[in-house]
Structure 1
């Protein structure tokens, strides 16, 4: 047993991070400055509020609470039960759902775990599912596989047949989907995407699913904030299960939700509610992260507010402004534009890969991600990039600000094509080496940083942040 005095021991456990671990504290401060000084355009990211971060960093992280409210495997959960029930109520309220028709499990650690738990609840091993193909904008967890390898657990444990967008329009080919479903006869039809800029025809998807007695699941992870605000069609009118992440356009902490439809007179043991709850715990994960559930509850309260509705409207308006400006510069967008928070930009006409453009943008303090577009053969060297407006809208950007963002992107394309010619090599490493030494890239980086740091930063005070010695 330690002979250390109680006072010294308490001091050890109550030392602020900056003193207890200055190395980690320094990394966090540098990451804060990076977020402040860069144009964050990754469509799956957002900046959450100070209140959400306070809840997510609370003493609730100390508590284990396997099970459901009122039926835990540990004691001492009276306040955790209150919290989880509150979060469930707020989830239904945020999406305008009747508790007699819908329920929700708020415990999934992420969108991916929520999706696999939903598949576990709905399907038996080797049952058939159909989801949007990854190169068409779908998500890994919707059954993605290649000719050579089963990539996602959803393709490893279930049989998967993808559907795709039309190669010319970039819009989902619903006719081909319906034809293939006639032959494949899936038990589950999945809608939702990670890089699809248009809204969904849920009514038609419901009709296709009903033809084959299939469940219809919507993964609305990317658009859930827009759905809550009424800026996208609601999948709840037509689907059996709806999953979502809680960050992205919903602007909460990183986690997942599973909504399940309730039916009058159903056998409780065979209900979707019972199957989803069983699938989440104990089938797919252990004790929930109560601190994260607290952050979700706060975010859902904020999402059910007039201020959030205005935010969601601004997200869409900003996307339209960005798309219009890029098209005005002569660039090609998948599907010709956007209905939601993202654009998918095809760079093949200008001779760039998404991989190269992502790298040069990072050097210029612009954060986005490479992404497959129509006609791509490889996800490693895709022909486009995905750009989202949710994060910068949280920083107060308006339409004219996104026009400036588009101009920065245009300038980056011009630099990238010039450097690619000068490098004289198709290799990514040679291109990055040339870009890293370019005075023009360095000058653009300074302009972008000056522009980005002129906007406020939600969640924390950026005024006292020190610029890291090197950012890349």
Structure 2
């Protein structure tokens, strides 16, 4: 099918869909149109966002949404799920082939759901199953109340070691306000205070001291690659299960940018991911596992999840099929190359980067050298049409709310076709904004961590320059909603 024909069909599909929506609630149709306008007109640099293809987006808007399908393929608690079985089986097949995983579970609704499935699968495999065997029971329903209370105590008193939030880890890796920090007796490993890099010897020493049941690797704001073979060695030495959360960099794994020791799937017992971010699919989660954990993960429903979102699983299958095309490998490599270009653009303008650069898709800019907090920088950049998110830096004096950094990612603008020159220009625009932003004061005259003042005319100037870049790389070219 020609590109013109595809664009015409896509435009027609969305025009008609929005007309149907507007006939019931026009404000939702208006907000949907405006979101496309906003996304087309802004520099989207949030590392956890991307642009899904029209095929992926359209897949979610179908009657597959109307089915309850609790259970697994061929073993549902509801009748009439044969088409959902096909959808889920295809999603799992594409995931296994794409990542080289023995087993894939496509049901999780989000990254945190995927992590909860993984955590409870590990607990079931490592704690519950041996305990049941010891007590001569096949399942928890056969336990006495006394035995069950003892098992509950064991399940809720296990140890988890994950990367700290300010070092680049994720809140689901044992952050105490998160459910992961409440489920486990948890401790965290950080990065070298001088370089900001992972120190594997320090992680190993921490693991030997703490002896966790679960060692979590992966990150949401660490701008470097991880040697997962070394992390597996550490886990094996202390008898831990290695769980890797690759939600942020799954696209770089799928696109064969990360291979060998940097590919987590062969080394981890269980690997979790989202399906959006760098993978460029729908919002959702997924679990990959080695054979020994497959049966435990397969009990994600009813263990953690309820009815799967069949329409989203279908969209996952479409996105994973797209990621299996050779063009996705080209895209993934460009994501990494563009991150280097963005980092180099900052460094040539004397900005400060955590770890001094990047070799994945993330650039973490320390804005304290501009006299700003992350919240002030994030807000000033948004005024100028640059969408980022504030983020902690190692040993952050401003904490997790105000922060001292902003996190930048290249997947979305790479999807739009940005390359080296454009990302150098983006770095220049960001530095212009930050150099012309002054921190504000509170009502009593004290320095504020939130308020700021952006120099006159700077926002309009940057918006104009950004528009010139964006116009050369239109979002969803050919899609016309008028």
Q: TM-score surpassing 0.5?
A: yes
Give ranges in structure 2 of 5+ residues lacking alignment. Answer: 1-16, 124-154
Distance 1:277 1:247 in 2: 22
| CA separation of 1:105 and 1:415: change in aligned 2, threshold 3 A | same
Residue 398 of structure 1, aligned match among 419, 425, 428: 419
1:361, 1:367 within 8 Å by CA — same for their partners in 2?
Answer: yes
Which of 228, 251, 259 is the equivalent residue of 2:288?
A: 259
The aligned counterpart of 2:98 is: 94
Deviations 1:114-160 (A, max 9, x none): 10111011122120010100010000110013xxxxx1111111111
TM-superposition CA deviations, 1:177-227 (whole Å, max 9, x none): 111111111111000000011111112111111112110011001111100
- Contact preservation (8 Å) 1:166, 1:172: yes
1:64 to 53, 68, 93: 68
1:304 is displaced (CA, Å) by 0.7
The aligned residue for residue 402 of structure 2 is 381
Match for residue 160 of structure 1 among 172, 186, 210: 186
Contact 1:415 / 1:441 at 8 angstroms: preserved in 2?
Answer: no
TM-score (norm 1): 0.87
Match of 2:433 in 1: 412
Separation (CA, whole Å) in 2 of partners of 1:464 and 1:291? 24
Q: Deviations over 1:339-367 (max 9, x none)?
A: 11111111122211111000001111100
Counterpart position of 1:189: 215
User: Of 291, 294, 297, which aligns to 2:314?
Assistant: 294
TM-score by length of 2: 0.86
1:281 corresponds in structure 2 to 301
For 1:176 and 1:381, how far apart are their aligned partners in 2? 29
Which residue of structure 2 lines up, in the alignment, with residue 141 of structure 1? Answer: 172
The residue number in structure 1 matching 2:162 is 131
Relative distance call for 1:314 and 1:291 in structure 2 (3 A) is: same
Aligned to 1:343, the other structure's residue is in SS state strand
Q: Using the alignment, how far apart are the partners of 2:314 and 2:27 within structure 1?
A: 28
Instruction: Check if 1:441 corresponds to 2:472.
Output: no
Q: Deviations over 1:408-463 (max 9, x none)?
A: 1111111114x659x986325541xx44x9433233223323432432213x7555
Q: 2 CA distance for matches of 1:438 and 1:277?
A: 57
Q: Does 1:426 align with 2:447?
A: yes
Q: Which residue of 2 aligns with 1:362?
A: 382
- Matches of 2:117 and 2:403 in 1, distance apart? 30
Do structure 1's residue 243 and structure 2's residue 275 form an aligned pair? no
Distance in 1 of aligned mates of 2:282 and 2:18: 25
1:109–1:256 contact (8 Å) kept in structure 2: yes
Q: Map of 1:310-389 to 2, 5 A cutoff?
A: 310-377=330-397, 378-389=399-410
Worse-superposed segment, 372-381 or 210-219: 372-381
1:268 is matched with none
Corresponding residue for residue 148 of structure 2: none
Residue number in structure 1 paired with 2:136? none
Measured on the aligned residues, the alpha-carbon RMSD in Å equals 1.9
**Structure 2 Cα separation of the partners of residues 51 and 45 of structure 1:** 17
Once residues 407 and 464 of structure 1 are traced to their aligned partners in structure 2, the CA distance between those partners, rounded to angstroms, is 33
Contact 2:368 2:405 in 1 (8 A): yes
Provide the C-alpha distance between the structure 1 equivalents of 2:281 and 2:387, rounded to a whole number of angstroms: 20
Q: Could you tell me whether the CA contact under 8 Å between 1:373 and 1:384 is conserved in 2?
A: yes
For residues 108-119 of structure 1, the aligned pairs below 5 Å read 108-119=108-119
Contact (CA 8 Å) 2:113, 2:285: kept in 1 or not?
yes
Indicate conservation of the 8 Å contact 1:45/1:247, yes or no: yes
Q: Secondary structure at the match of 1:175?
A: helix
Matches of 1:406 and 1:194, distance apart in 2: 21
Show the counterpart of 2:143.
none
